[in-house]
Amino acid sequence: MKGKAAFVVGAGVGYLLGTPAGREQLARVKGWAADVWADPRVQGYVRDAEEKASQVARTQGVALKDKAVAAARARFTDGTSTTWQRPADPADADPAARI
């Protein structure tokens, strides 16, 4: 079924790009799409969607930051030490080993 759908889509694209009538039809569709996009009603919906997305991003961004901070604190504090210490290097124990 996917193969048939892909064939039909490919044939349609080939028609639109490969024939003069198809290119004319494509130009009409592009013009129609531009007209629809420029419609004030559509732009009102676009503004509403942008505002909603911005609001969700602000609220969820704060929640995400708080969860990330809590996860990092839980992961890196195991109760034994609150500071990081460099692992011991065997060469530091014997100064003669540096030579």
Per-residue pLDDT of the chain (99 residues; tens, 9 = 90+): 788 999 999 988 888 788 888 888 889 999 999 999 999 999 999 999 999 999 998 888 888 888 888 888 888 876 555 566 666 666 666 656 555
pLDDT at 91: 61
pLDDT at 62: 85
Tell me the pTM: 0.45
- Give the position of tokens 């708080």: 66
pLDDT at 43: 95
In angstroms, the CA 69 to CA 67 distance is: 5
Phi, psi of 24 (to 5 degrees): -65, -45
pLDDT at 72: 87
pLDDT at 50: 96
Could you tell me the residue ranges of all domains in the chain? 1-38, 47-73
Cβ neighbours around 81 below 10 Å, total:
8
